[in-house]
Structure 1
Amino acid sequence: MTFKPAPWPRKLRSQEWFGGSGRDQIYHRGWMKNQGFPHDLFDGRPVIGILNTWSELTPCNAHLDVLAERVKHGIYEAGGFPVEVPVFSAAESSFRPTAMMYRNLAAMAVEEAMRGQPMDGAVLLVGCDKTTPSLMMAAASTDIPSIVVTGGPMLNGYFKGERVGSGTHLWKFSEAVKAGEMTPEEFLEAEASMSRSAGSCNTMGTASTMASMAESLGMALSGNAAIPAVDSRRRVMAQLTGRRIVQMVKDDLKPSDVLTRQAFENAIRTNAAIGGSTNAVIHLLALAGRVGVDITLEDWDRCGRDVPTIVNLMPSGKYLMEEFFYAGGLPVVIKRLGEAGLLHKDVLTVSGETMWDQVKDVVNHNEDVILPAEKALTKSGGVVVVKGNLAPKGAVLKPSAATPALMVHRGRAVVFEDIDDYKAKINDEDLDIDETCVMVLKNCGPKGYPGMAEVGNMGLPPKVLRKGITDMVRISDARMSGTAYGTVVLHTSPEAAAGGPLAVVRNGDMISLDVPNRSLTLEISDEELAARLAEWTPLPGAPESGYAWLHQKHVQGADTGADLDFLRGFRGRDVGKDSH
C-alpha cells in the first residue's frame, strides 16, 4: 500500500460552484437555499452526492430511500454536506429487453451526473444486478472519491419446509411443472415464499456476487456484502459509510487508488471461492476497462483455476445469504484466501486499511456454510474459459453449478437461431433431441438480443425432463442469471450477430466440450467453417434510432466486458464550466 493522504484543509471541487461572493457562486448557492440549507453548509465542507438507485420498479432497491437517510446521518456527523441524487436504476426483473442493455447507459448517465455537478465525493447506493457495476464504472471514469453501500439480500424463503432461493427455485419449480412433478397451483403458492422481505436475491446470484465483488475490490467497507436488507446492521453499515466518505474526500482517496490489478485479482479469486455469478466476468472486465487496468478473460481462468469453492450457497450449494452472514460473511472467505496464499494482502481499501488488516481476526461461525478447503464444493472453482474454433475469443462456464459428468462431452447440435425460435420449438414433442445432444442458442449476445439477456440457461425440453434428466450441455452467446445452474457455456465470442462461428452452427453438427483442457470445438474442417462464414449474413431488423441503435453500433464483445467503445479508458475529474 503506497497511498499518501492529500493535505487538509484545501480547496474542494464543490467550491468552484459554492465558494466566494461572485454572481455565479451566489447563483448556485441561492437556488440550493430554497430547500432550507443553512449558509454554513457551503463553507468549504465536503459535498457528498448520495447516488441513489431507489425505484419501485427496481424491487431489490425499493428500500434504499431508508438507507439513504442513514447515509445522510453519517455524512453530517463527519462534517460533510449530503445531497441525495436519484440516478438511473436498471432492474433485472423488469427491464426489457434486458437490464444489461442499459448498464452502459446508466454508467454514462451517472458519470455525467458526477462530472457536471458540485460533488466532492459519492456514496454509490446500489443493490440490483446492474446498478452495482454501472455506478462503479461511472465512479472509475470520473475518479471522484467514491464508496459502495449495497441494499443487502432478502431473508430466506421457505416452501413446504424447504429453503427457497430467489431465482434458483424459480428455475427448479418451472422445470418441475414441465416434468409433471409440481402442479401450476403449487407453483403459484410457492411464489409468495420467494420474496418475503426487502432486498436483492438471497442466493449467490449476481446481486450478491456484485456486492461481494465491491467488497473484495476494496470499494465497500468490510462486511458490507452479506448483511440482510432488513437487519438493523444494514442501516449501521449505511451510516458508517456516510462517515467514511467524508474522510475519503479529505484524504483524496480515489477509485484509481483502490482499483489496481492486484485488487481485481483478489476479486477474481473471491468470485471463485464464493461460487459467484458468471456475470461478474463481464462487469469486472468493463470496470477494469474504465480505470485503465488490463484484465482479460485469461486472467479469470488463471486466477480462479486453483481456488476451491468454499461457500455452500445456492445455486451451487444448499444455504442462502442469511446463513452466510451469520457464519461471518465475506471477510471469512477473504481471510481464507489470505491464509492459502491466494490474496494480495497489502491492497488498499476505501477504509484506508489494507485488505488483510480488515479480515485477519474474523472468525468462521459455521463451517457447513463456509466450508474447510478439504470439503469444498468444487476443488477447482472459479470461472472456466474455454476456447476453440467455436469460440476463438473465449466462452465461460461455471464449474460449481455444472454436472461433473458433462464436463467432457460430445454431442449432436440442436440449433435455435434466436430466443423466439427456441420458444417456438422447445415444447414440441417432435423436436429431434435427447439428453446426449448439445443445445445451441444464437443471436443473444451484446448486439444480438440486443443487450445480452439472461437466456443462456435454456430450459430443457419436457420430453427430456420426464426422463428425470435435469441437465444438458447448452451453448450460447447469452448470459445466465447468477441464480441459475447447469452445464452452460456462455458469452461465446465473437457472438453470432457479429459473425462469430456460433452463427454458422447447423443442426446435426457434432460439438465437443472438454473443460479440463479448456476447449470447445465445432467438428467441421477449417475449410468448411470458412465457407460457411463467407456465406453468412446478419439477421434483419437492426434498430435504426434511439439508444438501441447507439448500443448496437458501439457495444463491444463479451470478452472485453460489453462496454460501449467510446466509454472505455480512464478520463478522470473535471470541474466543468459554469454557463452563467
Structure 2
Amino acid sequence: SCSGMYTANSMNCVTEALGLGLPGNGTIPAVNAARRRLAKQAGMKVMELLKKNIKPRDIATLAAFKNAIAVDMALGCSTNTVLHIPAVAHEAGIKLDLDLFNKISERTPNLCKLSPAGHHHIEDLDAAGGIQAVMKVISTLGVIDKKCQTVTGKKVEENLKTARVLDKSVIRPLNNPYSPQGGIAILRGNLAPDGAVVKQSAVAPTMQKNEGRARVFDCEDDAIKAILGGKIKGGDIVVIRYEGPKGGPGMREMLSPTSAIVGMGLDKTVALLTDGRFSGGTQGAAIGHISPEAAEGGPIALVKEGDIISINIPEKTLTLKVNDKELEKRRKALKIKKPAITTGYLARYAKMVTSASTGAVFKD
C-alpha cells in the first residue's frame, strides 16, 4: 500500500495491535522477504489456533480494542480508524463509544509522525522496531493490557519481551513526544452532537483554535470548483454536506477538496468540515464524520452561508454560533436534499446504514 500512515497501513498496524495480526504484520514492507515468511507463518498459525480452539472473538475483546486505540493514538493513524475500529468491534458484539478515543488519547502521547503528518514512512517505523516497540513504550503508561490473547498463541506481554526501539527519532521516548495527547481527537458541540473526528497531529498550531465564516456546499464537486476557482479565502470554513453514509450514499473520501486547499496555499488558513470522511493522506484542519449527517437532518444541514463556526481542538468542541431559537426556526423550514440514487443496492444501503459515529454499520 502507500508508504505513509494512510488508511491501509493504519488498519494494518491497528490489526497487529489488536492481536489479530502477527508481530511485524503492520509494518514489514511488501517487497521484503520477511513479508513472504510472515505470510507462510500466518497460514501455519491459523491451523495452530484451530487446534487450540482460539477464535477471533477470544482475541478481539474490549481490552484488545483499547490496546488498538492506544496504538492508534501513539502512531497518529488515519481518521478512518474511527470508522473501522467501532465497525469491527460491532461485528465482535462490542459497542465502542466515540468518547473512548478521547479518554485513551488523554493518556497516550503521540510518539510517531509518519507521512502525511511528518517525513518518516512505514519502512522507517519497521526499522525502528515496529508496532511491538511502540506497544512496549506506551505499556509503561498503563494503556496496554498485557494479558490479552493474540494470534501468536501467546499473551501480549510475551510478544513484547524481545521488542525494543531501534531509532528514537522515529519512535520518540515518552519524555519527548510530539504532543502529550494522541494523534486523533473527537469533537462535539451543537454542530456535531454525536461527534466529529480530526487528526489533530496533522493540524497546524495556528489552526488548533479557529473561527470563521461558513462556505456551504451540498456536494464535494461544487466545493472543489469553488476552491480551484479562487472563491475560498483565508479565514473561510468550507462545509461539505450530504456526503455521509446515507447522503453520499457511501461516504466517499474528501481527498480532492483537501488537496485543492493545500494546492491553493490555504491549508494554514482554511478549515474543512464534512459529514463525509477523509483519505489517510489528508492533512490540515480537516474535520469529518460530523454526526448526525445532513441526510438525517443533523445540525450540519442547518448551516447557512456566512454563519460563524468555532473550532477548538484542545477543548474538543465544534460550535455553530447561531442561537437555539434560530436553529429551531431553520429546522422547521428544513427540506432535506433528495437522494441522488433511489434504486438498486446503493438505495438499499442508504436506508439501512447507520451514522458515522457508530462505524456506519448496518442496522440490525
TM-score range, shorter chain: over 0.9
Q: TM-score normalized by structure 1?
A: 0.61
Which range moved further: 339-348 or 538-547? 538-547
Distance 2:145 2:283 in 1: 30
CA distance in 1, matches of 2:42, 2:27: 15
Match of 1:387 in 2: 188
| Matched-pair contact (CA < 8 Å) for 1:345–1:354 | yes
Structure 2 counterpart of 1:499, one-letter code: G
Which sections of structure 2, spanning at least 5 residues, go unmatched?
A: none
Moved more, 497-506 or 378-387: 378-387
2:59 aligns with 258
Contact 1:457 1:486 in 2 (8 A): no
Q: Is the 8 A contact 1:434 1:464 kept in 2?
A: no
Residue aligning to 2:247: 448
Q: Which position in structure 2 is the counterpart of 1:422?
A: 223
Which protein shows a greater Rg? 1
Aligned residue among 249, 262, 274 for 2:50: 249
1:470: how far off?
Answer: 4.2
Selected match of 2:338 from 523, 532, 540: 540
Shift in Å at residue 441 of structure 1? Answer: 0.8
SS at match of 1:348: coil
Alpha-carbon distance, 1:557 to partner: 0.2
Give the conservation status (yes or no) of the 8 Å contact 2:198–2:287. Answer: yes
Give 3-state SS (helix, strand or coil) of 1:394's partner.
Answer: strand
Does 1:292 pair with 2:89? no
- Structure 1 counterpart of 2:154, from 353, 376, 386: 353
Aligned twin of 2:10: 209
Q: Which amino acid aligns with 1:506?
A: K
Q: Do the aligned partners of residues 461 and 269 (structure 1) sit closer, same or farther apart at CA in structure 2, a change above 3 Å counting?
A: closer
Whole-angstrom CA distance in 2 between matches of 1:496 and 1:442: 6
Kept after mapping to 1: 8 A contact 2:58/2:149: yes
Tell me the secondary structure at the aligned position of residue 58 of structure 2: helix
CA distance in 2, matches of 1:488, 1:304: 18
Q: Residue 83 of structure 1 aligns with which residue?
A: none
What aligned pairs does 1:333-348 form with structure 2 within 5 A after superposition? Answer: 333-348=134-149
1:268 paired residue among 62, 69, 77: 69
**Structure 1 stretches lacking a partner, 5+ long:** 1-199, 567-580
Give 1:403 deviation, angstroms: 1.1
- Count of aligned positions: 364
Could you tell me how far apart the structure 1 residues matched to 2:343 and 2:242 are? 20
Whether 1:550 aligns to 2:348 is yes
AA aligned opposite 1:434: K
Q: Indicate the SS of the match to 1:344.
A: coil
Q: Is the 8 A contact 2:247 2:339 kept in 1?
A: no
Structure 1 residue 508: deviation in Å?
Answer: 0.7
Q: CA deviation at 1:424?
A: 3.0
Cα distance in structure 1, aligned partners of 2:228 and 2:90: 41
* Greater relative contact order structure (CA < 8 Å, 6+ sep): 2
2:342 alignment partner, SS class? coil
In the alignment, what sits opposite 1:229?
30
Q: Which residue of 2 aligns with 1:472?
A: 270
In the alignment, does 2:128 pair up with 1:327? yes
The offset of 1:464, in angstroms, is: 9.1
TM-score (normalised: structure 2): 0.95
Task: Look up the equivalent residue of 1:366 and give its one-letter code.
Answer: D
Describe the superposition over 1:286-330 as per-residue Cα deviations: whole angstroms up to 9, x where unpaired: 111111112110111111223111123111221111111111111
Which residue in 2 is equivalent to 1:494? 292
SS at match of 2:215: strand
CA–CA distance in structure 2, aligned partners of residues 462 and 221 of structure 1: 39
| SS of aligned partner of 1:395 | strand
Which contiguous aligned blocks of 4+ residues in structure 1 show a shift greater than 3 angstroms? 459-466, 468-471
Once residues 427 and 537 of structure 1 are traced to their aligned partners in structure 2, the CA distance between those partners, rounded to angstroms, is: 29
Cα RMSD over matched residues? 1.8
What's the CA shift string for 1:217-251, capped at 9, x where partnerless? 10011121101001000010011111111111111
How far is the alpha carbon of 1:518 from its aligned partner? Answer: 1.5
Q: C-alpha separation between the residues in 2 aligned to 1:216 and 1:272?
A: 12
Q: Is the Cα contact below 8 Å between 1:414 and 1:507 reproduced in 2? A: yes
Structure 2: how far apart are the matches of 1:324 and 1:517?
Answer: 30
**C-alpha separation between the residues in 1 aligned to 2:66 and 2:30?**
28
Provide the C-alpha distance between the structure 1 equivalents of 2:57 and 2:260, rounded to a whole number of angstroms.
48
Question: Partner amino acid for 1:552?
Answer: A
